[in-house]
């Protein structure tokens, strides 16, 4: 069975997802067990695939036993494994987290179906990452998108429906662009297998058709990734979705889209393509990246709703990912990949912590965070750690990301990017500090009167933190923000291996 692990990575959660809603008829908790176990198994399999890749290099698994390019192939190298581990781990954490969280956000009779769709969402993401066939990416992209639309529309407020609808329209346009781009590639090369494409493409690099194919694929994926002007579905989608969904989507969805973009840009097309094509894609991407970073930070600063603020900050982080990609150097790529991991952790922890607040108070306005440090010390500690990490404090993951991107910018001779990174850090620091300040230093609403009485030794507010099933994943991920900030060498060395292969 060991050699079938790649297939099982997808098949187990897929089939589990399909039966999850059926066993949920007995009791919805069984659905939860199914999803938790399935995502955990996927996580373990991802780790074991990492082991295999480290030992023997690229894994190729032939679906149905058909040799590629005639059949569909799973092609797993460092890059896939890296993303797979992130996705499966965050999905697992999200599953644990949802156990109590969905009690307040989703009706009982919907829960089994929620879990089915949740697991399908995750399966789709993993399916996109693991496959070595470009059309297969599209198929799994659709699985994950469809479930994503429904999950967003599930939010409690009615704006969730509009957010879900807009996401659907934008997502479908993006996916269709992607499909169209694949069509152009297929028409020119006659193949759909990524490795085969990479081998057959070079002779067409200078054709107009391939330029068009590239443009449509990149724009299509950029819509999915929510790169700045194309990503206006993202803030509302993350804001109004149920907490678990926001967290998992922010931590995994955009990461997989970024993966697909990297895969297409550097494996299907290669650095030679960018050298030979008459257009300077690098600068175009760079401009969008910088715009995303700045607009994301500035818009985040202007928000009064915490989830929306985090959503815009995600937009900024996506800008960082694109920035690293557009530098087209090994260091830049390491930076991008490290941001993939780091933003997954930070955003996961932040959205989880916000979900805990929603669970206890039902509110998401920043105003509402005043004095929460005493009521929910653990959740807020996690929020603070992740928030500090976002601003790039050393020994947290955020620092590692920014460091790499800054080094890469200077290496590529783009000095002017460093002040931009710094400026965005400054803005990030301002909007996170504002919240951390209210959490720990401001009195809770309704308790201001106590403060004015100079009552030094009043009885402390009774802590009423979220249940353990929410706290544990939140806090674990927050701690990971520090662990991978200190032992950054582990993910970085993996990212470096992936980057070297991509840019060889």
Partner 1 sequence: MIDVAIPLFLVVCGIAVLLMKDLMSSIMIFSVYSLMMAIEWVRLNAVDVAITEAAVGAGISTVLFMIILSRTKSVDESKKSVNILALLVAVGVAAILLYGTLDLPNLRNSNIAPNTHITPYYLENSYEETGQLNVVAAILASYRGYDTLGETTVVATAGLCLILLLRGRNSKQSTKDTQKDRVTNLNKLSVDDAGVKLSEMNPTGADKDKDIIKKTVTKFLIPFIQLFGLYVIVHGELGPGGGFQGGVILGVSVIVYSLVFGLKESQKRMSIKTKDLLVSSGVLIYGGIGVIALFFGGNYLQYNVLLPDPKFASTLGIMGIEIGVGITVAAVMITLFYETVRLVDND
Partner 2 sequence: MEIIESARPVYVVLVSLLAVILIGISGKYPNLRELWTMLAALLKFGLVVSMLPTILAGKVIEFHVTRILPGLDIAFRVDSLGMVLALTASFLWIITSIYTIGYMRSLKEHAQTRFFMCFAIAMSAAMGVAFSANVFTLFVFYEMITVSTFALVAHEETPEAIKGARKYLVYLLGTSVFFFLPAIFLTYHYAGTLDFASHGILAGKASYTIISIIFVLYIAGIAKAGMMPFHSWLPAAMVAPTPVSALLHAVAVVKVGVFTVLRIVLFVFGVDLLQKIGLGVFLSYFASFTIIAASILALKQDNLKLRLAYSTVSQLSYIILGVALLTPSGITSSIIHITIHAFSKITLFFVAGAIFVATQKKYISQMNGIGRRMPFTMAAFTVGVLSMIAVPPFGGFVSKWYLLLGAVEANMLPILVVIVASTLLNAAYFLPIVYAAFFKDPPADEVQGVHEAPLMIVVPLVITALGTLALFIWPSLLLNLAKMVVTLVM
Partner 3 sequence: MIELLAKYNYWIVIILLTTGLYGVMARQNLIKKIIALNVFQTAVLLFYVSMSKIKGGTAPIVMHGQEHIYDNPLPQVLMLTAIVVGISTTAVALTIVMHIYREYGTIEEDRILEMNKHND
Q: Applying CB under 8 A, which residues contact partner 3?
A: 135, 139, 142, 145-146, 149-150, 153, 158-159, 161-162, 164-165, 168-169, 172-173, 175-176, 179-180, 183, 186-187
Choose the binding region for partner 2 from 38-46, 199-207, 403-411, 469-477 (rule: CB under 8 A).
403-411
CB closer to partner 2 out of 205 and 440: 440
How far is C-alpha 422 from the geometric centre of its chain's CA atoms? 23
CB 442 within 8 A of CB 370: yes
CB closer to partner 1 out of 84 and 120: 120
* Residue 343 to residue 321: CA distance in whole angstroms: 10
CB 76 within 8 A of CB 122: no
457 binds partner 2 (CB under 8 A): yes
Q: Binding string to partner 1 for residues 108 to 127, with x set by CB under 8 A, is what?
A: -xx--xx-xx--x--xx--x
* Residue 479, CA distances (Å) to 219, 307, 346, 461, 482 in order: 36, 21, 10, 26, 5
**Minimum gap (Å) between residue 84 Cβ and partner 1:** 17
* Residue 88, CA distances (Å) to 83, 84, 242, 488 in order: 9, 6, 20, 20
DSSP string for residues in 455-501: -TTPPPPPP-PPPHHHHHHHHHHHHHHHHHHHSTHHHHHHHHHHHHH
CB 418 within 8 A of CB 410: yes
279 binds partner 2 (CB under 8 A): no
> Residue 21 touches which of partner 3, partner 2, partner 1, none (CB < 5 to 8 A by kind)?
partner 1
Residue of the chain from 23, 271, 291, 418 that contacts partner 2 (CB under 8 A): 418
**Minimum gap (Å) between residue 394 Cβ and partner 2:** 5
Residue where the block lists tokens 């005639």: 70
Choose the binding region for partner 1 from 151-159, 243-251, 352-360, 411-419 (rule: CB under 8 A).
151-159
* Residue 36 to residue 41: CA distance in whole angstroms: 9
200 binds partner 1 (CB under 8 A): yes
**Minimum gap (Å) between residue 253 Cβ and partner 3:** 17
CB closer to partner 3 out of 173 and 418: 173
> Residue 438 touches which of partner 2, partner 1, partner 3, none (CB < 5 to 8 A by kind)?
none
3-22: which residues touch partner 1 (CB under 8 A)?
4, 7, 11, 14-15, 18-19, 21-22
CB closer to partner 3 out of 30 and 179: 179
* Residue 286 to residue 275: CA distance in whole angstroms: 16
> Residue 14 touches which of partner 1, partner 3, partner 2, none (CB < 5 to 8 A by kind)?
partner 1
416 binds partner 2 (CB under 8 A): no
DSSP string for residues in 411-457: HTT-TTHHHHHHHHHHHHHHHHHHHHHHHHHSPPTT-HHHHHTT-TT
Q: What is the 3-state secondary structure (H, E, C) of 342-396?
A: HHHHHHHHHHHHHHHHHHHHCCCEHHHHCCHHHHCHHHHHHHHHHHHHHHCCCCC
* Residue 348 to residue 93: CA distance in whole angstroms: 9
295's tokens: 């607009």
**Minimum gap (Å) between residue 463 Cβ and partner 2:** 14
Number of other CB atoms surrounding residue 199 within 10 Å: 12
151's tokens: 């999950």
469-498: which residues touch partner 2 (CB under 8 A)?
485-489, 492
157-176: which residues touch partner 1 (CB under 8 A)?
157-158, 160-161
Residue of the chain from 26, 54, 107, 455 that contacts partner 1 (CB under 8 A): 107
Radius of gyration for the chain, computed over Cα atoms and rounded to the nearest angstrom: 22
**Minimum gap (Å) between residue 184 Cβ and partner 3:** 9
419's tokens: 């002040």
Q: Is 206 in a helix, a strand, or coil?
A: coil
* Residue 59 to residue 473: CA distance in whole angstroms: 31
Number of other CB atoms surrounding residue 305 within 10 Å: 18
Residue of the chain from 29, 169, 199, 209 that contacts partner 1 (CB under 8 A): 209
416's tokens: 């002017």
Beta strands at 59-62 and 73-76: parallel, antiparallel or unpaired:
antiparallel
Residue of the chain from 107, 109, 367, 451 that contacts partner 2 (CB under 8 A): 451
Residue of the chain from 20, 246, 364, 391 that contacts partner 2 (CB under 8 A): 391
CB closer to partner 2 out of 14 and 429: 429
Residue of the chain from 165, 186, 205, 440 that contacts partner 1 (CB under 8 A): 186
> Residue 437 touches which of partner 1, partner 2, partner 3, none (CB < 5 to 8 A by kind)?
partner 2
> Residue 176 touches which of partner 3, partner 1, partner 2, none (CB < 5 to 8 A by kind)?
partner 3
* Residue 438 to residue 66: CA distance in whole angstroms: 60
404 binds partner 2 (CB under 8 A): yes
Question: Which residues contact partner 1 by CB under 8 A?
Answer: 1, 4, 7, 11, 14-15, 18-19, 21-22, 25, 61-66, 69-72, 107, 109-110, 113-114, 116-117, 120, 123-124, 127, 133, 135-136, 139-140, 142-143, 146-147, 149-150, 153-154, 156-158, 160-161, 184, 186-192, 200, 207-209, 211-213, 215-216
Question: Which residues contact partner 2 by CB under 8 A?
Answer: 391-395, 400, 403-404, 406-407, 410, 418, 422, 425-426, 429, 433, 437, 441, 451-452, 454, 456-457, 485-489, 492
């Amino acid at each position: 069975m060991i050699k079938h692990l790649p297939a099982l990575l997808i098949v187990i959660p897929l089939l589990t997802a399909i039966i999850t809603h059926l066993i949920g008829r007995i009791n919805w908790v069984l659905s939860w067990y199914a999803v938790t176990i399935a995502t955990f198994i996927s996580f373990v399999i991802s780790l074991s695939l990492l082991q295999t890749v480290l030992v023997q290099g690229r894994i190729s698994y032939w679906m149905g036993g058909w040799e590629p390019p005639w059949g569909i192939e799973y092609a797993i190298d460092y890059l896939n494994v890296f993303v797979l581990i992130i996705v499966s781990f965050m999905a697992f954490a999200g599953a644990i987290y949802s156990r109590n969280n969905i009690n307040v956000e989703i009706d009982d009779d919907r829960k089994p179906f929620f879990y089915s769709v949740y697991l399908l969402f995750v399966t789709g993401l993993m399916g996109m990452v693991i496959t070595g066939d470009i059309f297969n990416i599209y198929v799994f992209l659709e699985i994950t998108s469809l479930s994503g639309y429904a999950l967003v529309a599930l939010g409690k407020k009615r704006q969730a429906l509009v957010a879900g609808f807009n996401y659907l329209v934008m997502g479908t346009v993006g996916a269709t662009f992607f499909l169209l781009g694949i069509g152009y590639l297929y028409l020119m090369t006659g193949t759909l297998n990524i490795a085969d494409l990479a081998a057959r493409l070079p002779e067409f690099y200078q054709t107009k058709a391939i330029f068009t194919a590239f443009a449509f694929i990149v724009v299509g994926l950029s819509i999915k990734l929510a790169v700045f002007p194309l990503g206006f579905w993202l803030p509302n989608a993350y804001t109004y979705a149920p907490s678990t969904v926001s967290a998992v989507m922010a931590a995994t969805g955009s990461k997989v889209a970024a993966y697909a973009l990297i895969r297409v840009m550097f494996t299907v097309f290669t650095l030679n393509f960018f050298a030979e094509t008459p257009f300077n894609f690098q600068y175009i991407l760079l401009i969008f990246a910088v715009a995303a970073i700045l607009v994301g930070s500035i818009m985040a600063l202007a928000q009064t709703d915490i989830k929306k603020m985090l959503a815009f900050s995600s937009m900024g982080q996506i800008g960082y990912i694109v920035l690293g990609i557009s530098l087209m150097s090994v260091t830049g790529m390491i930076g991008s990949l490290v941001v993939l991991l780091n933003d997954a952790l930070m955003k996961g922890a932040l959205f989880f912590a916000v979900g805990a607040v929603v669970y206890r108070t039902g509110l998401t306005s920043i105003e509402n965070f005043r004095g929460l440090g005493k009521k929910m010390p653990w959740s807020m500690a996690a929020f603070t750690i992740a928030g500090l990490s976002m601003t790039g404090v050393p020994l947290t993951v955020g620092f590692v990301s920014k460091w790499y991107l800054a080094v890469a910018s200077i290496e590529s001779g783009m000095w002017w990017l460093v002040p931009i990174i710094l400026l965005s850090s400054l803005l990030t620091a301002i909007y996170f500090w504002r919240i951390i300040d209210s959490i720990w230093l401001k009195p809770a609403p309704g308790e201001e009167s106590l403060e004015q009485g100079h009552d030094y030794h009043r009885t402390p507010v009774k802590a009423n933190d979220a249940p353990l099933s929410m706290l544990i994943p939140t806090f674990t991920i927050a701690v990971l923000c520090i662990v991978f900030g200190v032992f950054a060498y582990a993910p970085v060395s993996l990212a470096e291996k992936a980057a070297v292969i991509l840019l060889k």
